[in-house]
Structure 1
Amino acid sequence: MIRRDWKRLRAASLVEALRLCKAYAQERSNLSVERIADRMGVTHDSLYKWLATGRLPANLIPPYEHACGCHYVSEWLAASAGRMVVAMPTGKKADAADMVQLNSGFAQALQLLTNFYADPARTDASVTAAALREHMERVAYHERNVAAYAQPQLEFDA
């Protein structure tokens, strides 16, 4: 069985997003469709039907993703509406290595973007988009840290 890079996977359709969630739950948590359906509070027959047709009711998307432990459906819905999803980062103090990684990631994304606009036919658009998305996620992480500085969280003694 081929190990997937779950962080970089993006669904091309709603049915594929539903199936990616199911595959993620099976691989990462060893959950069957029956166990996912039980966690959602629906019958496994209904879930099989929704997975086959892609007609999962909208109010069941959050429970389905929660049961599976991933968000491919929500990400696909946002992307199909022309929106980008950036995961809410959790903060930690950045060190010099983090700053170097941020700078080198930006340089790489900028180089790929420059190559793309120079000759789109000779570049891989999905690699360029992935590099840009990864850089924006890193920037969002640091933006969240800076914003959290103004509203410090409670620190409890251990």
Structure 2
Amino acid sequence: MNSRNWKREVPNSLNHALRLCKEHSLEKKNLSVERIADRMATSVDTLYKWLGSGKMPVNQLINYEELTAGNSRTGRPFVTEYLAHSQGYLLIKMPTGRQAEHTDVLELNIFMQQFIAELLSLQAGEGDAEQAITTVKTLIQDLAFQHKNIEQHQSPQLDLGE
């Protein structure tokens, strides 16, 4: 069974965002709802209630996203992304400036080609507008990440090692 591509997941509702966080933590961190609830110092019933209703207290939401996405390479704050997108904002994570790998650039190129195909299909009256919007948001975020890599290349940092 293929692993889910978490980089390309985009939440379409608050409940969907909460569910994506939960599913990510189960797949990537092996955290069950019971373990998440324990680490949040709440009951399993309360956590399930929050996940089902989409009404999680903000002070718990930050903790929930940190537990479920955390510092893992594929982790993302799906709820924060959904809230930003639902208000018309594009959320872009601050770039780290790490060196781009060839596979990252190639993956970005393939994704850009997929977006162009979606755009052409949409212009021909055959595409899905919501999917094209989701794809362009993801593409802009990926390009912003590469922007920092280009800046880093123009001003390399001194190697202060011995």
| Range class of TM-score, shorter chain | 0.7 to 0.9
> 61-70 vs 31-40, which deviates more?
31-40
**What's the counterpart of residue 143 of structure 2?**
139
Q: Which amino acid counterpart does residue 98 of structure 2 have in structure 1?
A: K
**What's the counterpart of residue 52 of structure 1?**
52
Q: What is the rounded CA distance, in whole Å, between the counterparts of 2:52 and 2:102 in structure 1?
A: 48
> 22-31 vs 97-106, which deviates more?
97-106
Larger radius of gyration: 1
Q: What is the rounded CA distance, in whole Å, between the counterparts of 2:85 and 2:13 in structure 1?
A: 10
**What's the counterpart of residue 74 of structure 1?**
80
Q: Which runs of 5+ in 1 are unaligned?
A: none
Q: Which amino acid counterpart does residue 63 of structure 1 have in structure 2?
A: N
> 130-139 vs 52-61, which deviates more?
130-139
Q: Which runs of 5+ in 2 are unaligned?
A: 70-75
> 38-47 vs 101-110, which deviates more?
101-110
> 130-139 vs 101-110, which deviates more?
101-110
What is the TM-score normalised by the length of structure 1?
A: 0.74
**What's the counterpart of residue 129 of structure 2?**
125
Matched, 1:116 2:139: no
- The structure-2 alpha-carbon separation of the partners of 1:29 and 1:134, relative to structure 1 and needing over 3 Å to count, comes to same
How many correspondences in the alignment? 156
Q: Is the 8 A contact 2:40 2:64 kept in 1?
A: yes
Q: Is the 8 A contact 1:8 1:130 kept in 2?
A: no
Q: Which amino acid counterpart does residue 14 of structure 1 have in structure 2?
A: L
> Alpha-carbon deviation of 1:54?
1.1
SS in 1 for 2:6: coil
Q: Is the 8 A contact 2:108 2:142 kept in 1?
A: yes
Q: Which amino acid counterpart does residue 143 of structure 1 have in structure 2?
A: H
**What's the counterpart of residue 23 of structure 2?**
23
- Deviations along 1:11-42, one digit per CA (max 9) or x if unpaired, are 22212211221111112111121211222233
Q: What is the rounded CA distance, in whole Å, between the counterparts of 1:154 and 1:55 in structure 2?
A: 48
SS in 2 for 1:112: helix
- The structure-2 alpha-carbon separation of the partners of 1:152 and 1:59, relative to structure 1 and needing over 3 Å to count, comes to farther
> Alpha-carbon deviation of 1:126?
4.3
> 131-140 vs 64-73, which deviates more?
131-140
- The percent identity for this pair of structures is 38
Q: Give RMSD over aligned pairs.
A: 3.3
**What's the counterpart of residue 64 of structure 1?**
64
> 37-46 vs 124-133, which deviates more?
124-133
